[in-house]
Amino acid sequence: METSSGGSSDEGRRIFKVDTWCSQFRNGSNPWMARYIYALMFLIANLLAWAVRDYGRGALTEMERLKGCHGARDCLGAEGVLRVSLGCFIFYFTMFLSTTGTSKMRERRSAWHSGWWSAKIILWIAFTIIPFVLPATVIRLYGDVAHFGAGVFLLIQLVSVISFITWLNDCCQSDKAADRCQIHIMLLATMAYVICLVGIISMYIWYVPQPTCLLNIFFITWTLVLLQLMTSVSLHPKVNAGILTPGLMGLYIVFICWCAIRSEPGGGKCIRNAETSTKTDWLTIISFIVAVLAMVIATFSTGIDSKCFQEG
C-alpha cells in the first residue's frame, strides 16, 4: 500500500513538473494549484464586498431594479457585504459537501476539487448574484447566524496561526538554522514587540479619550496582559520557546483588538476625532491587507498540516 501510494505520488509530482500551469488549470491535474485559485476567488469576493460597502452607492445604481433591493439601500453598505458573504458561503459550502470524505487523488471528487474550473467559476458567479435577489429579511437572518460563524472562523484561524508561528519558530531554532537565523530572530521579535506596544499605546490614545470608555479600556488592557502572559510562558525554563512566538502572536491579537474596537459605530464618545475617522482609508487598506494575510496563512497552514484539528 505504502509503496504504491508513494509511487503514484512521485508520478503525480513528475506530471506537475512537466505540465504548464495553463494545462494544469485546464486539465485539473494539480490539486496543489487548486488552493491558489480558491484563494484568488476568495480575494476577489473580499474586494467585491469592500467595493459594495464603501463605493457601491455611487457605482451600483442599477441595484434599484432588483426586487430585493429597495432603492438600493438593502443591497449596498453593510447588507451588501452580507449578500456577497452569503454567495461566497454557499459556493464554498457546496464545494465542502461535494468533496468531503475524499481520500485518494484519483477519485472523481478529487478531479472535481482540482478541476472543472470553467463550471466552478460559472457556479461561483451565479451563487454571488443569487443573494442580491433575495429579500432583506433572509439576508438579516443570515447576518444573525453569521455572527456565530465569524466567531468559529476566528477560533479556527487562531489555532491555524498559532500552528504556523510555532512551525516557523521551530524551523528558526533548529540545529541547521539556529546560528544563521539568530540575528534575524532577534530583529524580527524586537520589531514585533515595538509594533505591539505602539499599537496598544495608539489604541489608548485614539479609543480611550475619556475615563468612562470602560469597555475599550478593558479590551486594550487585556491585550497588553495577554502579550505579557505569552512572553512569560514562552520564556519559562520548561517551555524555552524564545521571544519570536509571543512577539508574532502579539501582533495578531493586537490586530484583532484594533479591528474589534475600530468597528464601533461612528460618532461615539469613545472614538477620538470621530467625525474624521471615516476618511482614513489607509487604515482600512492596512486592516484589509493584514486580514487577508492572516487568512492566507491560516488556510495554507491548515491545508498542509491538519493535525492541529485532530484529537489526540
Q: Give pLDDT, residue 275.
A: 44
Q: Give pLDDT, residue 25.
A: 55
C-alpha cell at 236: 519559562
Q: Where are the domains of the chain?
A: 29-134, 153-306
CA dihedral sign, ordered 23, 27, 28, 32: negative
Q: Give pLDDT, residue 15.
A: 46
Distance CA 34, CA 8 (A): 19
CB burial of residue 303 (10 Å; 0-12, 13-18, 19+): middle
* Prediction pTM value: 0.67
* pLDDT higher at 64 or 173: 173
* pLDDT higher at 311 or 110: 110
pLDDT more than 90, % of the chain:
10
Q: Give pLDDT, residue 125.
A: 92
pLDDT digits (tens, 9 = 90+) for 89-129: 999 899 888 888 776 666 777 777 777 788 889 999 999 98
